[in-house]
Structure 1
Amino acid sequence: MNTNVVSSIRVVIADDHRIVRRGLAHILSASPGITVVGEASDYAGITQILREQPCDVLLLDISMPGKDGIEILHLLKKREPMLRIMVLSSHGPEKFAVRALKAGAACYLTKDEAPDELIEAVRVVARGKKYITEGMAESLANHVVDEDDLMPHQTLSDREFQTVRMIASGQTRTEIAQTLSISPKTVSVYRSRVFEKMGIRTNAQLTQYVIKHGLLD
């Protein structure tokens, strides 16, 4: 891993949409001092690139197949604590930003940000600093509230929140267990905790809540 001063910032782009990866690569490669050294569409692809190619900044989509972005963040920071990770998302900061930063992200950007903002964020993160947009700062400020004022889904752990999204997307208990590498019984435990915390009784109610609050892709 590089020191805080790098001659050329080596970036890996992780997104499951090829056209998005290509667009990001075009924007970044056109900027002096930034080199895109790899692209990945899932967690396995990310880990393979990181084994083979030095990386200064990883651009990570929050919505990835199999393991989602938050889980990937946890796994990568455990494997490579010094890896600088920027999260990109089609969701506003109020949806996932706080979770991403707590999981170790150095930045959370929405995909509708201007290219200049993306480039500036990459340069700041490559220097070992966090990059906070105005919208992100407002989201963080709004998060500093009493727990009684939190939305039900904001009280969930990352794994519980991930389970919620997977249930709402129609995945079965067995499918969720396989994706999360846990037992179906553990999935049932998460489901019970979620229902209790959110005051929900059925999967249908859960799905309605998730859709209403825009928690799915």
Structure 2
Amino acid sequence: MIRILLADDHTIIRDGLKKILSTVPDMQVVAEAADGNELLALLRAGLPDVLLLDMSMPGRSGIVLIQQLQASYPALPVLVLSMYRESQYAVQAIRAGAAGYLSKNVESDQLIGAIRKVARGGTAVSAAIADKLIGQARQPLAALPHARLTARELQVFQMLAEGQGINEIASALSLSGKTVSTHKANILAKLELSSTAGLVHYAIRHGLLAEAGELGEASHTP
């Protein structure tokens, strides 16, 4: 029996995953977490066989959380199930220690197969992401400006592009507003941008968010 911990801040996503996995004889959802802090508390009480992790949750999340999990629980297979389709997030997640990365539009059979694979110690990514990873590995770093962002900068970048403000990000990540502002300045410098609006357009242009249409409001942020 593969014991699975689901970590996603959307109840409807967790319910959907539980419904899918309840039909699989060799899998059992043993715990659920809605944010990074709740997840860490559950892991301290006992490790599952596989952690199915959302890339973006309140509090600790994303690449920084994966790095923390790798440092504290190196034997725990982490399978990321994310709305972010762009290959750079997959690269960062795998480098941080994730055992796999799938988009949330993946078919149920693919998800079940990926869980079994990482539970056995393997690595699982979708065919589309694998192709992108190979292509990206052949590109010079200069061709991918956002590849120069650190894990924390990438996390702040995501949140800024989604329309979150400095104070909102600071609260979610338990950072000071000054620290978030510094990260923002570094991000803009590395991407050679001059404003949040430019950052949002960059995210849309490079496919760094799940749906560009969701950014209609954010694109007008000064």
- Please state which band the TM-score falls in when normalised by the shorter chain: 0.7 to 0.9
1:88-107 counterparts in 2 under 5 A?
A: 88-107=81-100
Superposed displacement of residue 163, structure 1: 1.6
- The match for 2:180 is 187
Q: Which residue of 2 aligns with 1:148?
A: 142
Contact (CA 8 Å) 1:93, 1:108: kept in 2 or not? no
Alignment map for 1:1-217 (pairs within 5 Å): 8-144=1-137, 145-150=139-144, 152-217=145-210
**Contact 1:93–1:110 (8 Å) recurs in 2:** no
**Greater shift after overlay, 100-109 or 74-83?**
74-83
Counterpart of 1:66, as a letter, is G
**SS at 2:168 equivalent:** helix
> 5+ unaligned residues in a row in structure 2: which ranges?
211-222
Offset at 1:93?
4.6
Following superposition, the deviation at residue 95 of structure 1 comes to 4.7
Alignment-derived partner of residue 4 in structure 1: none
Over aligned residue pairs, what C-alpha RMSD do you find?
Answer: 1.9
Q: Which amino acid aligns with 2:208?
A: L
How far 1:75 sits from its partner (Å)?
1.8
Give deviations 1:37-62, integer Å, cap 9, x for gaps: 01111112212222234301000011
Cα distance in 2 between the residues matched to 1:49 and 1:154 = 32
Find runs of 4+ consecutive structure 1 residues off by over 4 angstroms: none
- Unaligned 5+ residue runs, structure 1? 1-7
Q: TM-score, normalising length from structure 2?
A: 0.85
User: What amino acid is aligned across from residue 165 of structure 2 in structure 1?
Assistant: T
Aligned-partner Cα distance in 2 for 1:111–1:182: 29
Deviation, 1:16, is 1.2
